[in-house]
Structure formats: C-alpha cells, structure tokens
Structure 1
C-alpha cells in the first residue's frame, strides 16, 4: 500500500519543522524529509537558497526531494516534506508523481501574519537558523498571494504548536488540501 506525500510549507518561522516532526510521529510508517538537509548535502559550490542566482541549484534540489518523497511513499511510508516549497516548485512533485499516480500529494501552507513570522524567525537560535529580516520577509511575501492555492493556507499566528498540529491533521482529513496532478504549477520562477 502506497503512502501519501504531505508538503508542509510556509515562510521561515511559520512552525513547519515543529509541526512536521509531530505530524510524522503520528503515523505507523512515516518519513520526515527536512528539506534544509538536502542543501547541506552540496559539498562545494552551494549558493544560499534565498539568493536569485540560486534558482538552478534550487530546482535541482527540489527535484531530488520530490523523487525521494515519491520513492518513500511507494514503499508505503507517509512522507512529510518540511520546507519552503512554493507553487513555483510543485511541478517537481507533479513530474515525479506522473510515474506513480496512485500516490496522493497534499499541500499545506502555514502562514502566520508577516510580523509574527519575522518575530518567530528571529527568535530561533539554531546554528543554521535564518534570522535576517530581509530574506525572511521576502519569503513571506512570496507566500502572501497564492491565487487559487489560497485554500491551502492555514493561519497559524495565534496557535500553539499543538493547535497547529491539530489544524494540519484536520486539513488532511478534509481532503481539500490535495493538489491536482494535471495542473501546471511551473509558471512562476521564484527563489526559495
């Protein structure tokens, strides 16, 4: 039996990693793909992924992540993909899914208010935590207007981590956070 792929995304500081870890722990068989790790695999020539000149690198990394997610799902794991994956990168998941149309992909965007996102991002203390205001706010702005994908947004600004986890679980049960396999989402080229 194939597993589902859950793309849990949003700007830095939205609560993706905390929520993704807890969500993945709730399944019998699951994988938590923390996408930041994939950028660390680049041994030489890495470009910070939020810079405009990183687009080719980012496209490559997202393609690898999508293929890994679909391979785990094919093996029966529910895969929680945790990272900054805007609509401009969903085509990688759709391309990988064409070979495995039985796998369902859910797209959930955590998006607290802009000021809340910045405050949360700047409060992080991890060694690789992105806390600089300019790239954090630029990434929030990229998620500000998702057009017909707005229905995939959860405002998590006033929620505790437990409330956000419950909101994501309810979203997945509703089935309305799946994205269509045949829709072209590659029309927008933005850095992550």
Structure 2
C-alpha cells in the first residue's frame, strides 16, 4: 500500500496533540484518527503498534522544534560570541512557548519510555542524536564553549522548559533574560 506522507505527518501531529492533552494512556489509534479528522482505522494503517507510533512521534517532535534555516542563518550572521549563545537560548524558550504540545508530548514519551524498553531504545537514540547534533552545530559554527558546555546548556534548558510548562508559578517570577544570561555566563565563563 502506498502511504500518503502528508497524511502520515498529520497523524503524527494529531498524536502529539493527543499526548499533550490526554497523556500516554489517551494515545490510541481511535484518538489519533479523531484528532486528525480521518476515518477510523487510518492510524493503524500507518503505524504497526503504539511503540512504533510513539517512536515516530519523538522524531516528529524534534522536527517541529528545529529552528528554521532562515532563523539560523540570521543568527549566524552575528558575531560568534556569548551574546549569540544567549540569543540561541532565548530562541529555544520562544519555540517551546510557541509549540507547548511538542514539549508536553515529549514529557509523556519520556515517562512512557520508563515502562516500554523498545520505546526507551528509540527515544534514547532520537534524543542522543539531537544532543550530538547540537554539539556538532556548536563546534562547526565556532560558537563559544566546548562539548560539556553544550551538554550543560542542553540539560539546564530542558529542565527549565519543563518547569516552565508544567509548574509555571515557579518560573514566572524569574527574570527570563537574567536567568539565561547567568546560565550562559556560568556555562561558558566570563569574557
């Protein structure tokens, strides 16, 4: 059977919304079909089982959260210093705020991965590839900081975004600009 890639993407986007709204327990073929507005049974034609669907959702989440080529080019036209790293950290927060469903779905997938070894393997591979991409990007773009700097920023920003999305009263009183500047300064060091 020939698969329609646009429909497959729509199903994955619907699955992200279902995960964000209802959690992993609510992720059923029926719920995905309903959210995507397609006939019942469509999702099961595209994904062999829930683990397959969840693994593909993890990949789709990372695709949706990648900054545009235009945004990257604009940023890389600026001096490659600490202020550019601060700009990239702000961009991460903006993208998280703009697509909260992706981060919430990813949280659900991470929790579900603790109970599903196949999903854990797939999700680990996807997230490890994402981290390695960020490290390589930092090195190839000649941005300040080494491998460990990127790792520290990655985990700090991940934790911050999760708190911001799930318990916003903790992060709301913080000055976002100050938080990011101090984080980057401590990860990279002073000029």
Q: Tell me whether the two structures share a fold, i.e. TM-score over 0.5.
A: no
Greater radius of gyration (CA): 2
| Structure showing the higher helix proportion among its residues | 2
Structure scoring higher RCO (CA < 8 A, sep ≥ 6) equals: 1
| Structure showing the higher strand proportion among its residues | 1
TM-score calculated relative to the size of structure 1: 0.31
